Amino acid sequence: MKITAIEIGKIAIPLKTPFITALRRVDVAEDLVVKVHTDDGHTGYGNAPATVVITGDSHESVAAAIKYIIGPKLIGRDIDDREDILDTIHQSMVHNTSAKAALDMAVHDLFGQRYGLPLYRFFGGRKTRIASDLTISVNAPDTMASDAVRAVSRGYSHLKLKVGIDPAMDFQRVAAIRKAVGPDVTIRLDANQGWKPKEAIRLIGRMEDAGLAVELVEQPVPAADFDGLKQVTDHVATDIMADESAFSPRDVFRLLAMRACDLINIKLMKAGGLAPAAQIAAMADAAGVACMMGCMLESKVGITAAAALSAGKAVITKNDLDAADLMAADPVRGGITYDKDHLVVPDAPGLGITAIDGWLPLKD
């Protein structure tokens, strides 16, 4: 099975409600989807949503990296040389993790197809269903409370609340939601870098004193401030998770060595795909630090790949793989299905994706 061509196209999917974080607002999710074709008629799928405020990657930069730098090095390569192809993807250029993730995913998809192996089995095959939280966008406290109640009525028992806009109002947001959903719903927070270290320590302490029962706080401080992240971790009882601080395996090695966080959020778009994401999971496992499998605002292509890794690794104990469930339409045929708050992984070879509706090839 040899790679013969790589096509790049885009899909646009309206969201059920606007996605609002401390970093950005999105009304329509746009995802770049690559198709990697082989000489025996197979197609491997991968995706790369542009999340410029987090990864720095735009659709233009992803397409250029694939088309001019990494892609040409993959043409003619045999899928049986998987590790060698993955080395090429990851060593062709620095940064550009979204472009690398899209190609790494497609290569794994083709490898699964080559051997009739569902990807979740390739990564360990521990489960066929994984539970995810649902994200509640940052808004006025009463709006967030009603969004949270609606999410619980849809079957979600874990909610990830976006905060990080301003600490006093963030306290009101969490208090309003806890009051609305009661004590049995798990509440996790994602500040998306919005607080300063001392501000975070005071605010999380206040939430602890008020008995708001927050399970974890994701990325309280700016991504580059590893010392600030450690300061927060060391001064609160609530678990602190690194997200934007934890891109590459090397970042995670540093975070683990510093004991700067209690948990790691792994995302394919930050790590550069499944191979480096699996490396991160293995390092965290060795350090005794549990992980969340997270996602960007991306289609079911990337969510299916992330779910396959999560379903195979015991160290991944939490999932924030709700992106495709935040969307009002699903143009991806095959892949995972949502069953209330669970994702069911496909039993078909590779990612099990058969077609993408509304996929428009990128023009030069």
Ligand X SMILES: C[C@H](N)C(=O)N[C@H](CCC(=O)O)C(=O)O
Just list the catalytic residues: 162, 267
Q: Which is nearer to ligand X, 71 or 228 (CB)?
A: 228
Options 146-154, 181-189, 231-239, 290-298: segment touching ligand X (CB under 6 A): 290-298
252 binds, among ligand X, Mg ion, none (CB under 5 to 8 A by kind): none
* Residue 21 makes contact with ligand X by CB under 6 A: yes
Mask 175-194, x = binds ligand X (CB under 6 A)?
A: ---------------x-x--
* Residue 320 makes contact with ligand X by CB under 6 A: yes
Number of chain residues interacting with ligand X (CB under 6 A): 15
Contacts (CB under 6 A) with ligand X, residues 25-64: 51, 54
3-state secondary structure the chain: CEEEEEEEEEEEEEEEEEEECCCCEEEEEEEEEEEEEECCCCEEEEEEECCCCCCCCCHHHHHHHHHHHHHHHHCCCEHHHHHHHHHHHHHCCCCCHHHHHHHHHHHHHHHHHHHCCEHHHHCCCCCCEEECCEEECCCCHHHHHHHHHHHHHCCCCEEEEECCCCHHHHHHHHHHHHHHHCCCCEEEEECCCCCCHHHHHHHHHHHHHCCCCEEEEECCCCCCCHHHHHHHHHHCCCEEEECCCCCCHHHHHHHHHHCCCCEEEECHHHHCCHHHHHHHHHHHHHHCCEEEECCCCCCHHHHHHHHHHHHHCCCEEEECCCHHHCECCCCEEECCEEECCEEECCCCCECCEEEECCCEECCC
Q: How far is the CB of 22 from ligand X (least distance, A)?
A: 9
51 binds, among Mg ion, ligand X, none (CB under 5 to 8 A by kind): ligand X
Number of chain residues interacting with Mg ion (CB under 5 A): 3
What residues are paired with 361 via a beta bridge? 9
Options 64-72, 145-153, 169-177, 292-300: segment touching ligand X (CB under 6 A): 292-300
Contacts (CB under 6 A) with ligand X, residues 206-245: 243
Q: How far is the CB of 362 from ligand X (least distance, A)?
A: 20
Mask 228-267, x = binds Mg ion (CB under 5 A)?
A: ---------------x------------------------
Options 136-144, 210-218, 250-258, 336-344: segment touching Mg ion (CB under 5 A): 210-218
Contacts (CB under 6 A) with ligand X, residues 134-163: 135
Using an 8 Å Cβ cutoff, are 194 and 221 in contact?
A: no
Mask 171-200, x = binds Mg ion (CB under 5 A)?
A: -------------------x----------
Q: How far is the CB of 302 from ligand X (least distance, A)?
A: 11
Where does this chain bind Mg ion (CB under 5 A)? 190, 218, 243
Where does this chain bind ligand X (CB under 6 A)? 21, 24, 51, 54, 135, 190, 192, 243, 294-297, 320, 322-323
